[in-house]
């Protein structure tokens, strides 16, 4: 059992999902290959693409088959694979079929990011690079500096995206890249740099695969990109997507189409709200308590501050990749020598847990993700005595990735919140006073935006159309990040009178939810919003549409009581 789990984990770390030979052969069959072409498979695994390529290349050429094989293996075909066992399997597969490899073959057992080729100019790079794999920690920062941005836009440090970026460097002008890839990169904002790079350097086309293999359910596609310079269109499953439409979306989405593009010709929610993630505590169980429906909760711990001696070992254990800059290192060593301390917090188990009532001066509602829409009463509280001193001290003394406090400037403010991982936008009203958790991103009105916009935006986010735009154009993965919500079109097509009616309807909804009513996504009052926000084409309206409502806060505090 444990062995199988370890094997699965090792496989996941290298992103090892092998391509079935039939699929590799079908992809290779669609490519133009000449007997002169230099071809690279940068992560050849057990060799499906190598076999398909050799098979195809063996069909053409003036020589006898044995000479043809020798030419292919010494001059045409190049391959890299990091996993020795898989590389051996691939070689075995080839040898069984075509006989021993010539001594000068070009199949390397190496890390693609360290591999060097005498002539770094390939006509074709083809394969199925690792998805969700890991990098050699010794070079990952260097790789991030080299490939992690394109024209100021992020290209997330993922094995498949950096494989694409590195391969683009290795392809000659007019050459082609053809990769099976996860389709996640087509919308997510952290891959905006990859989409831009592909459109700046190549003409690209995508073909979604109905199924890839039994080993993974990850939706996959075949990306074919010819290095012909900047392109003004993209081809997706045979349809043409103009670059202009892609550029209308804040995320440079490859999932836009003309029908969706009409929404993006006006302001977006970011003109009205600022959205943010919340904080990650690291160990919620130390500070966050379940709140019962009776308003009571149990506190099993007490908290004690103490002076913790600073040591290099402790700081190294908390540092990213276990590394510290020489300057920081010598500062810490100096602090250790003179016995310096830092304030830390100790969590002590109480002999008998306390039962407390909420509201309580030392606790605040903690906005964790929940499935509620419109409004959901808090189900968690957090120990927040002295403005969260214990939690913030715990984070400061924890691992490097816990040091930042996500959303801190917005703690306590009234706004909106939603479930980060969801197939629909589960938007709800967030009353003032909450501390924010990273699982439930939040949005707050920008300074000077009228409070009514909160109800208008809440209503819009609850419509099926807003979810459709979110899940097709803005982020088709399971997550709904803060930036995704900021990029939603603002319903600029709704006329003023209709808008006033919507605001009124949403206020009523929230009020009854605050009074205890529960609304599911199918509630008629919620579904009525779909028709209220229906798109209406209005000539000339876009051009004049500025966030007109930035006229100051509404003096009526609807929910103040």
How many residues bind ligand SAM, per CB under 6 A?
A: 24
Contact between residue 417 and residue 366 where contact means Cβ atoms under 8 Å apart: no
- Minimal distance in Å, beta carbon 44 to ligand SAM? 5
The HSE-up count of residue 425 (CA atoms within 13 Å, CB side) is 34
Sign of CA dihedral 483, 485, 488, 490: negative
Q: Hey, which residues between 93 and 112 contact ligand SAM (CB under 6 A)?
A: 111-112
Q: Hey, which residues between 117 and 136 contact ligand SAM (CB under 6 A)?
A: 127-128, 130, 133
Question: What is the CB neighbour count within 10 angstroms for residue 432?
Answer: 11
∠ Cα 127 132 136 (to 5°): 90
List the strands of the sheet with 288-290, edge to edge.
288-290, 380-383, 363-367, 435-436
- Minimal distance in Å, beta carbon 37 to ligand SAM? 18
237: exposed, middle or buried (C-beta count within 10 Å: 0-12, 13-18, 19+)? exposed
- In this structure, what are the phi and psi dihedrals at residue 502, rounded to the nearest 5 degrees? -65, -45
- Is 203 near ligand SAM (CB under 6 A)? no
Site string for ligand SAM, 30-69 (x = CB under 6 A): -------------xxx--xx--------------------
Nearest in space to 483 (alpha carbons), one of 492, 470, 472: 470
- Minimal distance in Å, beta carbon 83 to ligand SAM? 4
- Is 184 near ligand SAM (CB under 6 A)? no
Nearer to ligand SAM, 43 or 291 (CB): 43
Cα distance between residue 84 and residue 203, in whole Å: 35
- Is 15 near ligand SAM (CB under 6 A)? yes
Structure tokens at 29: 């069959």
Strand partners, 80: 108
Q: 165 in the Ramachandran plot: left (φ > 0), alpha (ψ -120 to 50) or beta?
A: alpha
Q: Count helices and strands (H / E) in the chain.
A: 19, 21
Binding segment toward ligand SAM, per CB under 6 A, in 12-20, 199-207, 467-475, 534-542:
12-20
- Is 411 near ligand SAM (CB under 6 A)? no
Q: How far is CA 321 from CA 13, 139, 305, 342, in A?
A: 16, 11, 28, 22
- Is 177 near ligand SAM (CB under 6 A)? no
- Minimal distance in Å, beta carbon 14 to ligand SAM? 4
Q: Hey, which residues between 336 and 395 contact ligand SAM (CB under 6 A)?
A: none
Nearer to ligand SAM, 190 or 220 (CB): 220
- Minimal distance in Å, beta carbon 393 to ligand SAM? 39
Nearer to ligand SAM, 81 or 201 (CB): 81
- In the bound state, the residue with its beta carbon closest to ligand SAM is 45
Look up residue 18 and give its DSSP letter. Answer: P
Nearest in space to 430 (alpha carbons), one of 473, 390, 385, 377: 377
Contact between residue 127 and residue 24 where contact means Cβ atoms under 8 Å apart: no
Alpha helices in 125-281 (DSSP H): 140-147, 159-170, 192-201, 243-248, 258-261
- Minimal distance in Å, beta carbon 371 to ligand SAM? 34
Site string for ligand SAM, 143-162 (x = CB under 6 A): ----------------x---
Binding segment toward ligand SAM, per CB under 6 A, in 15-23, 53-61, 139-147, 150-158:
15-23
Binding segment toward ligand SAM, per CB under 6 A, in 17-25, 296-304, 415-423, 466-474:
17-25
Tokens 């370890």 -> residue: 6
**Of the residues 38, 54, 72, 83, which one makes contact with ligand SAM according to CB under 6 A:** 83
- Minimal distance in Å, beta carbon 545 to ligand SAM? 46
Binding segment toward ligand SAM, per CB under 6 A, in 79-87, 217-225, 382-390, 435-443:
79-87
Nearer to ligand SAM, 83 or 437 (CB): 83
**Of the residues 82, 269, 291, 457, which one makes contact with ligand SAM according to CB under 6 A:** 82
Look up residue 291 and give its DSSP letter. Answer: P
The residues binding ligand SAM (CB under 6 A) are: 14-19, 43-45, 48-49, 80-83, 86, 111-113, 127-128, 130, 133, 159
């Amino acid at each position: 059992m444990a062995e199988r789990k370890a094997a699965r984990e090792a496989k996941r770390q290298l992103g090892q999902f092998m391509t079935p030979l039939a699929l590799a052969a079908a992809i290779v069959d669609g490519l133009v290959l000449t007997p002169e072409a230099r071809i690279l498979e940068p992560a050849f695994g057990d060799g499906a693409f190598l076999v398909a390529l050799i098979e195809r290349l063996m069909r053409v050429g003036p020589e006898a088959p044995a000479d043809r094989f020798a030419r292919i293996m010494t001059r045409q075909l190049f391959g890299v694979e990091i996993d020795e066992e898989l590389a051996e399997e691939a070689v075995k597969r080839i040898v069984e079929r075509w006989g021993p490899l010539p001594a000068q073959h070009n199949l390397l057992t190496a890390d693609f990011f360290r591999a060097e080729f005498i002539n770094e100019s390939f006509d074709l790079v083809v394969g199925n690079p690792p998805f969700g794999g890991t990098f050699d920690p010794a070079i990952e920062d260097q790789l991030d500096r080299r490939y992690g941005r394109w024209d100021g836009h992020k290209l997330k440090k993922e094995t498949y995206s950096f494989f694409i970026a590195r391969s683009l460097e290795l392809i000659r002008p007019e050459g082609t890249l053809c990769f099976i890839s996860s389709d996640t990169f087509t919308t997510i904002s952290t891959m905006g740099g990859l989409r831009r790079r592909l459109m700046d350097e190549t003409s690209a086309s995508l073909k979604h695969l109905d199924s890839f293999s039994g080993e993974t359910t990850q939706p996959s596609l075949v990306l074919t990109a010819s290095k012909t310079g900047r392109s003004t269109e993209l081809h997706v499953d045979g349809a043409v997507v103009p670059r202009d439409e892609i550029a209308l979306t804040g995320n440079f989405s490859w999932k836009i189409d003309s029908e969706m593009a009409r929404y993006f010709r006006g302001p977006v929610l970011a003109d009205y709200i600022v959205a943010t993630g919340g904080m990650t505590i690291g160990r919620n169980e130390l500070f966050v308590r379940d709140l019962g429906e009776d308003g009571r909760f149990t506190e099993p711990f007490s908290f004690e501050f103490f002076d913790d001696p600073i040591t290099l070992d402790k700081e190294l254990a908390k540092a990213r990749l276990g590394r510290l800059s020489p300057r920081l290192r010598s500062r810490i060593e100096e602090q250790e020598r003179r016995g310096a301390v830092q304030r830390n917090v100790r969590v002590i188990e109480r002999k008998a847990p306390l039962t407390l009532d909420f509201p309580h001066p030392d606790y605040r509602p903690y906005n964790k993700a929940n499935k509620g829409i419109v409004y959901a009463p808090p189900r968690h509280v957090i120990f927040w005595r002295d403005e969260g001193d214990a939690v913030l001290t715990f984070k400061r003394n924890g691992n490097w990735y816990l040091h930042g406090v996500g959303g801190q400037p917005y703690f306590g403010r009234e706004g909106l919140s939603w479930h980060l991982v969801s197939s629909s936008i589960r938007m709800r009203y967030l009353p003032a006073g909450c501390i924010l958790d990273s699982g439930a991103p939040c949005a707050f009105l920008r300074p000077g935006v009228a409070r009514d916009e909160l109800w208008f935006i809440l209503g819009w986010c609850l419509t099926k159309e807003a979810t459709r735009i979110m899940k097709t154009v803005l982020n088709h993965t399971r997550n709904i990040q803060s930036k995704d919500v900021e990029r939603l079109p603002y319903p600029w097509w709704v006329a003023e009178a209709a808008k006033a009616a919507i605001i009124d309807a949403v206020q009523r909804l929230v009020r009854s939810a605050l009074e205890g009513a529960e609304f599911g996504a199918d509630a008629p009052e919620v579904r009525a919003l779909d028709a209220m926000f229906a798109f209406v084409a209005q000539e000339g309206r876009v051009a004049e549409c500025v966030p007109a409502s930035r006229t100051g806060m509404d003096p009526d505090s609807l929910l103040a009581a």
